[in-house]
Amino acid sequence: MVVSLLTLGLFAAPANANPLYPTPDPDPFFTAPSDIGELAPGDVVRKRRIDTFLYPGTEGWQVAFRSTNSAGNAIMGVTTVLLPIGVQNPPLVSYQALINSIGTRCNPSQSLFNGELQDAPGAMLPLQRGWAISVPDYLGPTVAYGAAKLSGMITLDSVRAVQKVAELGVSTSPVALAGYSGGGMATAWAGALQPTYAPELELAAVVAGGIPADLELMADALGFAPHPGFGLAFAAAMGIEREYPERVPVSDSLNEDGLWFREFTKDACRRFLLFHGLARNAEQMAASKDLMTSEVARGVLRENSLVHFTGAPTAPTYIWQGRYDTLTPWEPVARSVAHFCSKGAPVNMVTVEISEHMTAAAAGFVDAWNYVESRFRDEPVPTNC
């Protein structure tokens, strides 16, 4: 679920936004060093072993690394790696989980272990095949939910970093990227950015489903009307503001109720956001209805919409999307795939004749994992371009 309350920020306003950032994690492991800008994207900042008692048969590490935000500035990212015990040089899957949150405790580095990660069981499926998984905090240190390009860069840098940690034994392993919904958006963006952002990185497969491919379309469609996903929409608006404070100053358009809800949810995870958003809507929280005129803000939405990206992946790519999915529309994904095909990308798109967003996830992941396994075996790449 991404971006609907961004309609609150689509207006002409002075460039003096004051975003509300999440409470920083007190663990010093998550604090960037002062010289982070001197490192190259993907360089390892620090690493540590972690307890993986919740995931029997694995050993775990966390890796902090240098990445890049949407303004081109150096930031620190973190990923959590689980390795199947007894498997030497396993294939590596970077799994972009369903974060859909704006608090640091909702990032996989914590939510894998505190019960907040909703798709944790699905993320473990690669381990059952003898693969290693890396689960990055792809929303970055400010948990910028909705910032799609950012999530793609962090994902790619997380793979670069994991390959550099000798103790993990995956420096020469084949690599796949996988994710659904918000995780699918991060995955698809990483695949599309890889040829230019990380050209040295070899990807055996990119599998993504339920992709929010046109944030501007989603914002226009949802507007101010009541919606069961309002809490997530509000969080996406706050996340985009955190990443683009001068260009999308959403907080400047909130009334007292909106500012209170911003404070109330600034560290919230998915379930909290959904529950407390049920009885609320944008109409109640906007100080003005003159919100859809800013081309600057719309430009940010387009910059984070895969359908407007001019590049294309070169790695074998598998995409599945529900044809009647009202949450993440099918048509922009199909347009994105058509563009990729026009660039010669090896893409296979599967349309799932399902309307419910998460049901489509379950319907598509089995074939997606089989697609990854075929790529790890270096079998011929199917395409339906």
Give CA–CA dist 187/322, Å, rounded.
Answer: 17
Residue type, 98: L
* CB-based contact 5:230 (threshold 8 Å): yes
pLDDT tens per residue across all 385 residues of the chain: 444 444 444 333 333 448 999 999 999 999 999 999 999 999 999 999 999 999 999 999 999 999 999 999 999 999 999 999 999 999 999 999 999 999 999 999 999 999 898 887 777 889 999 999 999 999 999 999 999 999 999 999 999 999 999 999 999 999 999 999 999 999 999 999 999 999 999 999 999 999 999 999 888 777 667 778 889 989 999 999 999 999 998 998 899 999 999 999 999 999 999 999 888 888 888 886 554 567 888 999 999 999 999 999 999 999 999 999 888 999 999 999 999 999 999 999 999 998 888 888 888 899 999 999 999 999 999 999 9
* Torsion-angle region of 140 (φ positive above 0: left; ψ -120 to 50: alpha; else: beta): left
Residue type, 4: S
Token pair for 230: 């309002």
Q: What is the pLDDT of residue 9?
A: 41
At 318, is the secondary structure helix, strand, or coil? strand
Buried b (16+ CB within 10 A) or exposed e, 333-347: bbebbebbbeeebbb
Give CA–CA dist 240/243, Å, rounded.
Answer: 5
Q: What is the pLDDT of residue 2?
A: 40
Q: How far is CA 197 from the centre of its chain?
A: 16
pTM value? 0.94
Query: Taking the domain 215-302, which CATH number applies?
Result: 1.10.260
Domain ranges (residues) in the chain: 38-213+313-377, 215-302
Strands 175-180 and 205-209: what pairing?
A: parallel
End-to-end CA distance of the chain: 27
At 178, is the secondary structure helix, strand, or coil? strand
What is the number of residues in the chain?
A: 385
Is it true that 38-213+313-377 and 215-302 share their CATH fold? no
The maximal CA–CA distance of the chain, rounded, in angstroms, is: 60
Q: How many CB atoms lie within 10 A of CB 78?
A: 27
Q: What is the pLDDT of residue 15?
A: 39
* CATH superfamily assigned to domain 38-213+313-377: Alpha/Beta hydrolase fold, catalytic domain (3.40.50.1820)
